[in-house]
Amino acid sequence: MKRLATSLLFALGLLAGCDKPYRRVAFELESTPPTPVHFDSDHISLVVGVAVQVKATPKRARRAYDFDVRFSLQPEDAKLLSVLDGQGRHEFVFVGLSQGSTCIDVRVDGHEEECIPVDVGPAP
């Protein structure tokens, strides 16, 4: 009986999302920047003066986030990098403003999940 209750509680916990929900952000380039850029879950690099639009999708371990999950990307140093909302859902436009290193705060449903390192290189 005790074992059954424990199993039930564990199953309910999983259904309620009590497993570690956030895993990473998947990036998909939606524009062709004039200089090479790099976007992955662990690291981003672009150069000063270049804009690029990406679709960013938060991922978690077991099941997808709800469609209307609140999701934002904010640069820690807004002097180096600008991240603007694009037209579509989870579309963002990154613009390198000044050379240096910073990171992007990933917030999902109001929780700060991680800060992805970003390098902004010199203007080409």
Partner 1 sequence: MPTRPDVRRGVLRTALLGLALLSGCPPTPDHFQAGELGKGTFAYACVNGTDLTCGSDEFTVPFVVAVGGRFGAKFQTNKGEALNVTIPTTELVTRADGSFRAIAPGMFPLLAVDGNSRVIDFKHVQAKKISDIHLVSTDDQVFPSSFRLAVGSTQTFTVEALGDDGAQLRGALDYTWRGLDDALDISAPNQRGEVRVTAKREGTSAIEIGVLDRTFRIDVNMGSGRFADASANLPGLDASIDGAIIDEQTDAGAP
Which residues are at the interface with partner 1 (CB under 8 A)? 30-32, 34-35, 48-51, 53, 82, 84-87, 93, 95-99, 123-124
CB-CB neighbours of 42 under 10 Å: 9
Cα angle value 44/50/55 (rounded, 5°): 55
Of 80 and 106, which has the nearer Cβ to partner 1?
Answer: 80
* Calpha distance 56→73 (Å, rounded): 9
Q: How far is the CB of 111 from partner 1 (least distance, A)?
A: 24
| Closest to partner 1 by CB, 14 or 29 | 29
Between 93 and 114, name the residue whose CB sits nearer to partner 1. Answer: 93
* Minimum distance, C-beta of residue 62 to partner 1, in the bound complex (Å): 32
- Other Cβ atoms within 10 Å of 63 Cβ, number: 11
User: Least distance in Å: CB of 83 to partner 1?
Assistant: 10
Residues in the chain: 124
**100 bridge partner residues:** 120
